[in-house]
Structure 1
């Protein structure tokens, strides 16, 4: 199992203003689904921030997203550890396979993979 990227999910009710502000720091919009928008550094594309109003399909909003190369293997390891799964493993309509798990401090982690 390998981590591909880690993205903080910052909650906001003003994603446009966030995009404009972080644009001043050199970030550019790379994704916008209406409820979540991601900006990235053009020179270091894995340096990203996401701004979320609310999660579209999950019962809670994640604090951080971790993209992995094998989400099914990570899900099995997390489930077997006894950690609290707060959103089951599923394929989402926008093209990711993901689940949410609560870390030991109570933060919600969105673990995902993009199909290859």
Structure 2
């Protein structure tokens, strides 16, 4: 299989609010928009994308079930989480998890988009010494 792109499609009644959230706070471009489907892509790399679909869409599958906000999150990996955190805070973005360095090796913060999806903004950093030792399986 030769993949050209991969992206989640989140079924939500808030497709317009989701569009505005990702365009305003993360600089995504609207690539396609209809009354029931919106496809967004990152300006710097259009293969990085997310889409939103209204529960009353005419396509199938999936069914019309709305995403309930549990069991998944959308990670946006950046080169400088501190700078992105400061930009988003200044823009009025609703920060739900303050910037911090995690012992497993991520500097990160989080937001919740209008569909209820957790957006995890991460920068890879060195993990705390020995953190992964109990979790890494030897071959």
TM-score range with shorter-chain normalisation? 0.3 to 0.5
In proportion to residue count, which structure has more strand?
A: 1
Larger radius of gyration: 2
What is the TM-score when the length of structure 2 is the normalising length?
A: 0.41
What is the TM-score when the length of structure 1 is the normalising length?
A: 0.48
